[in-house]
Amino acid sequence: MRHPEILLRERSALLVVDIQEKLVPTLPRYPEIEPNVQRLIRVAGILRVPIVVTEQYPKGLGTTLASIREALPAYQPVVKNTFSCCGSPEVVPALRQSRAEAVVLVGMEAHVCVQQTALDLMANGFRVHVPADAVVSRRKLDWEVALRRMERAGAILTTSQSVIFELLVEAGTPEFKAVLPLMK
């Protein structure tokens, strides 16, 4: 028996929140998280973990950053205007259809769209895992407070590597061998 907080790939999904062309330049710490987000996307693709991508008002904020789009197995963003991804009529049904019980939440900004999404996902019965090294805000204080608030509300704070190794479960498998080069 596994602890209920451990991610199981057949019951998990990755939600990539608003990593968009015109937002990225306003976030000085974004380059720190980009490799972690790319790695999580690639691993999710290898392990067949469903991925949902959102874009906040792309007409004004641009589309998903090219480097993130390139990592995705498929690019079919959910366009939204609400800060919470759950405000879109497509997100929660897509997660439920994927049979996800846990959602790994990455993207921007931690104190706005990520935080509101985390709270709403938990209200909808999902376990939420937030890798602290895969979410970002413009200001460090906003990021720190958002992480604390999400954790107090029940989100599981983690790191991108912890997520990856939980989804892998064991070494020596074909999936592990496929993922290993991404970990270097």
d(CA 91, CA 109): 18
Give the model confidence (pLDDT) of 53-76 as tens digits. Answer: 999 999 999 999 999 999 999 999
Active site (annotated) includes residue 113: yes
Residue 169: exposure state from Cβ atoms within 10 A (0-12, 13-18, ≥19) = middle
Percent of the chain scoring above 90 in pLDDT: 97
Structure tokens at 53: 């991508």
DSSP letter string, 35-95: HHHHHHHHHHHHHT--EEEEEE-HHHH-SB-HHHHHHSSS--PEEESSSSGGGSTTHHHHH
Active site (annotated) includes residue 85: no
- Active-site choice (18, 85, 86, 120): 18
Residue 184 has pLDDT above 90, yes or no: no
Tell me the residue length of the chain: 184
d(CA 183, CA 125): 31
Please name the amino acid found at residue 13.
A
Contact 116, 84 (CB under 8 A): yes
- Active-site choice (85, 86, 113, 120): 113
Residue 112 has pLDDT above 90, yes or no: yes
Give the model confidence (pLDDT) of 129-148 as tens digits. Answer: 999 999 999 999 999 999 99
What band does 44 get if pLDDT is binned at 50, 70 and 90?
very high
CATH superfamily of 9-183: Isochorismatase-like (3.40.50.850)
The answer to whether the pTM exceeds 0.85 is yes
3 state SS of 105? strand
How confident is the model over 103-120, as a mean pLDDT?
98
What band does 26 get if pLDDT is binned at 50, 70 and 90?
very high
Token look-up 């497509």 returns 90
How confident is the model over 113-132, as a mean pLDDT?
98
> What is the pLDDT, as a whole number, of residue 1?
87
- Active-site choice (80, 85, 86, 120): 80
Break the chain into its structural domains and give their ranges.
9-183
